[in-house]
Amino acid sequence: MLIDLSTLISDNSKTCTVDTEIEAKTFDINGFKYPYEDGKVNILFKCEDGKLKIIGQIKATIIMLCDRCLSDVKKQFDIAYNNEIDMNETGLQTGADEEYPFIEDKQFCTEQFVYNEILTRLPMKVLCKEDCKGLCPKCGKNLNDGSCNCERAEIDPRMSKFQDVFNQFKEV
């Protein structure tokens, strides 16, 4: 959703409130598309003395993949923000600014703003549970559902000659 900020910027006493749903269906990052389950945005715009204040809250649930077992994980984001942008210093009065990609030609893009806010708060690792066992490296079975019959002992190829010596002297 694009919001025109030109009248708000020109009149210092005005405020504008926006309550909307996140329009995007997926959160796209690194070639992966994670679907939004729900998402709501509440924004209050205030302009005082050439400074644009953006105050509000984002509530969104994104279905991501567990980094160990690849099962679906519902990741909830409850983001409160209070940003202040000096419209005179940043050059936003005349065009786009690299620091604020969600404002271009006095148009505020809520989707880009939400994307940036969530992106900065993404966890480094998404897990379905703290003690996730992951997938079997041989057969690919989800080890959270139970163990598989694969042999897990992998021998370091640098030590394989020692294993041969031990196997020769093994008692039967």
Write the DSSP assignment of 136-159 as a string of letters. Answer: -TTT--BTTS---S-------GGG
CB 35 within 8 A of CB 63: yes
The answer, yes or no, to whether residue 97 has pLDDT greater than 70, is no
Pair 81, 45: CB distance under 8 Å: no
pLDDT of residue 13: 67
Statement: residue 93 has pLDDT above 50: no
- Residue for token digits 């019959």? 149
Show me where the domains of the chain are located: 2-119, 135-172
Condensed to tens digits (0 to 9), the pLDDT of residues 109-155 reads 889 999 999 999 999 999 999 999 999 888 899 999 998 888 777 77
pTM, two decimals, is 0.74
What CA–CA distance (Å, rounded) separates 92 from 50? 11
- Confidence band for 166, pLDDT divided at 50, 70 and 90: confident
Which pLDDT belongs to residue 99? 74
The better pLDDT of the pair 129, 48 is held by 129
Calculated CA dihedral for residues 110, 112, 113, 115, nearest 10 degrees: 120
Looking at residue 158, its pLDDT comes to: 81
